[in-house]
Structure formats: structure tokens, C-alpha cells
Amino acid sequence: MTDSVDVAIVGGGQAGLATSWYLSQAGVDHVVLEAGRVAETWRTRRWDSFCLVTPNWAVKLPGIEYTGGDPDGFMDLAELIAFFEGWAASFNPPVQGGCHVSSLEAGPDGKFALTVGDRRMHANSVVVASGAYQKAHRPAGADALPRSVHQVFAEDYRNPDSLPPGNVLIVGSGQTGCQLAEELHEAGRKVFLACGRCPWIPRRLDGHDLVWWLIESGFMDRTPDKLPSPAARLVGNPQATGHGGGHDLHYRTLHAQGVELLGRFAGADGSTIHFADDLAASVDFGDARWAEIRGFIDALCAKAGMRQPVYDIPAPMRVKTRASLDVARDGIGTVIWTSGYRPEYAWVKLPVFDQMGFPIQTDGATAVPGLYFVGVHWLRKTKSSILQGVGEDAEVVANQILGGRA
């Protein structure tokens, strides 16, 4: 059976729904194809105690914003899912759940052909909104770990009790890695954290949350041409947490708590796990990013006539680290991989991707007429893939689709 539609949106998360909202307002015939349910990734790929790092007041999507009683708080998973469900109910997007798209290719008469389960669908335009966090990355050497060690991706972790007994090695130190390290440490586990290069910023500064500073200073509006290299698209968001009302969470706070910091994971040999001697370089990288953000804040204060905040600038952090751990001697029962995600578009059978797997596009539009992307890291700006910014990109893409119809 072959269906036809004007616009097919692949993905029912925030990017797909935001695009659907704008197309719905304009009366454009479209469908949202979602493999699971609305906001499926939030439902199934987050741990039990997950909460947003972005304060509630900053969660703004087309046609909706947070109106609850705790604007400075951080929605937990149940609250966030309810927020998405309420948003979807407010405009009733044409979502077809349980529709896994396994192939997108050129179709007849300049249209696109999508394989959706056991059926085919033709569309004049396609918006790929399949998420920014697609394929969990496991670094080289992971397969050499002893079979006795339980390995799990962060997206499959649920809570400390779900892990077997023993100490825990977390590989990856972005927001997720730091939050899991804190949770497991507080649960009484000995935690080792293999660190990479991640930015950080104080949770609050001069009475404002870090997100306020990032938005107001223009930091979130940086464009990809400002990046030092294409690989910089993989650098994570600043280390922080929304737990407990929000607080600082980075290498210095974790070290003070008792989490043992290590260098970058460098592979395994038998029962020995190796680490690079680069923790100092990773900490310095984060400190340099904090210095860059201070530059944005200073420029904002000068332009707006605001008082410049008093910064607490820490001294360089130098901690003696181990070059290796022994699985048996150090009691390693679990390794949690939280070393980032990579693009996964193997199902898109069209030549629109760069060497890193990111779509080649301008304002979401590719060189293939009618094919668009939304919700991709650095699609247009720093904020392109997050709740605070995805709606802006969705509007830009929707307007291009509408322009084509006109």
C-alpha cells in the first residue's frame, strides 16, 4: 500500500512537533511519523531521577511555555512528559505512532519515497527530525574489557539498584556523566570518572541562572562559523545539574565529593583498564571555555550598562591520577558509557551528509529540494538542538516549506 502526503516529518520529539505546530497553523497537509510515542526518547532513554538542567522558565516551544508554580525549578521526567503531552493535546498534531521509517530515498516525479513498516509513503517534502542524540558512542578499546564487567550505555541506566554490586567506572564527563557520578557516589558506590574535554559554568552568577546569562549574552545564538573546527560540534553543553534546585557540578565539585577523577579512557588489556595522562589538559579546556563565556557576559554588561559580576575564578586544578585500574583489585563491577552521541542517518539514502555524518544544510534546507533537517546540533546556532532554541529553527524550516508552496 502506498500513501501520499504533502509533507512528512520523521520524528515526534520537540523538533518534529515544533515543525508540525507551524505547518498546522498554516493549514499544510502533513504527517508526523514517530516510531514510538510523542517524546519517546525522553520516556525511554533517561534515568529514573532525571531532571532538566534548563530552568523551567526557559522551556519555550511554539504555542506553549511553562506556566507552573516553580519557574526557577527544573522539571523532572514525569513533569516533562506531561508538558509534552499537554502541548501535543493543545494543537492535535497528525502523529502516527508506532511508525518506524527504515528508508528515505528519491521517489517518482521528484517526490520522496519513505518505507514505513510494511508500507510505502510518497511525500513532496520531508523534514528529518529524528533527534540530536541518535547513536550512543563507545570509544575504541571498549570491546577489550573483561566479560565479567557489566557494561551499559547511559541511556539504558535507570538507578543505582539496577547495577550489579561493585564499584563503577563512568566513561564520559558531560552533563550526564557528572550527574550519574554524583548519584552513584551519594548511593554509596565508589565511582571513577574518566574525563574528557567539557565546558563548565557556575550554576548561578550575580542572582541569575547560568541559562539566563547564556541567552541574554548572545552565547546561545552563536553560529557554526564561529566554531574552531567541525569537530567542535561534538563538544557537550556546560557541566551543571538541576538536582536539588540546581547547583554547580563539574570536576572540582566531584573531586571534593570523593569521586576519583581519571584521564581519558585509553583502552583495556586483560583485566587492566588504561587512561591517558591528560586530566589537567581537560580541566584547562573547561576553564578556557568558562573564560570565553565571561567575555560574552562582560560584553552584555557593557552594552546594557549592568554591573559586571564578581567572578570566582578558580586556580588551575592539578590532581595526580592513576594510569590504570585493575578490574579485580579495584572492584569494578560496572562500566557506564556516556561518551556522547554520533549522527545516525543510514536510513536516509540521499547524498546530503558530511564526513562526520552531519547533514550538509543551510537553515535546515539541503541541496536536495524539499529535504530539510530540524533538531540537529548546531543546525543554525548553539541552541538548535535544545528546548530553548529548537522552535526558532522549526519556524525557519516551516517558512521555507510554505515559500515553496506559494
Tally of structural domains, the chain: 2
**What sign results for the dihedral spanned by CA atoms 184, 190, 195, 199?**
positive
Residue where one domain finishes, among candidates 309, 340, 371: 340
Q: What is the pLDDT of residues 29-50, one digit of tens each?
A: 999 999 999 999 999 999 999 9
Residues 168 and 255 in one domain: yes
Q: What is the pLDDT of residues 305-319, one digit of tens each?
A: 999 999 999 999 999
Residues 163 and 288 in one domain: yes
Residues 272 and 130 in one domain: no
* Residue 292: Cβ within 10 Å count: 10
For 18-27, 130-139, 158-167, 278-287, which range has the lowest pLDDT when averaged over its residues?
130-139
Residues 35 and 179 in one domain: no
Q: What is the pLDDT of residues 285-296, one digit of tens each?
A: 999 999 999 999
348 touches 183 (CB < 8 A)? no
Q: How far apart are CA 397 and CA 222, in angstroms?
A: 19
pLDDT band at 183 (very low <50, low <70, confident <90, very high): very high
Residue where one domain finishes, among candidates 340, 375, 390: 340
Residues 15 and 102 in one domain: yes
pLDDT of residue 2: 61
Residues 330 and 357 in one domain: no
The answer to whether residue 176 scores a pLDDT higher than 90 is yes
Region 152-174 average pLDDT: 97
Residues 100 and 199 in one domain: no
Residues 128 and 142 in one domain: no
Q: How far apart are CA 225 and CA 404, in angstroms?
A: 27
246 touches 204 (CB < 8 A)? yes
Q: How far apart are CA 405 and CA 204, in angstroms?
A: 46
CATH of the domain at 71: 3.50.50.60
Residues 302 and 180 in one domain: yes
Q: What is the pLDDT of residues 201-210, one digit of tens each?
A: 999 999 999 9
Residues 304 and 366 in one domain: no
> 32-36: which pairs have CB atoms within 8 A and are 24 or more residues apart?
32/93, 32/94, 32/95, 32/96, 33/8, 33/9, 33/96, 33/99, 33/101, 33/114, 33/116, 33/121, 34/95, 34/96, 34/97, 34/98, 34/99, 35/98, 35/99, 35/100, 35/101, 36/12, 36/97, 36/98
Residues 103 and 221 in one domain: no
Residues 190 and 126 in one domain: no
The answer to whether residue 1 scores a pLDDT higher than 60 is no
Residue where one domain finishes, among candidates 290, 308, 340: 340
Region 238-245 average pLDDT: 97
pLDDT of residue 406: 61
Region 4-22 average pLDDT: 97
pLDDT of residue 338: 95
Region 88-110 average pLDDT: 95
In three-state secondary structure terms, 382 is: helix
pLDDT of residue 135: 85
- Cell 504527517 locates to 31
Domain that holds residue 150: 137-340
pLDDT band at 342 (very low <50, low <70, confident <90, very high): confident
pLDDT of residue 48: 97
pLDDT band at 332 (very low <50, low <70, confident <90, very high): very high
Q: What is the pLDDT of residues 48-69, one digit of tens each?
A: 999 999 999 999 999 999 999 9
Burial of 269 (0-12, 13-18, 19+ CB in 10 A): exposed
The answer to whether residue 391 scores a pLDDT higher than 90 is yes
- When the pLDDT of each residue in the chain is averaged and rounded to a whole number, the result is 95
The answer to whether residue 249 scores a pLDDT higher than 70 is yes
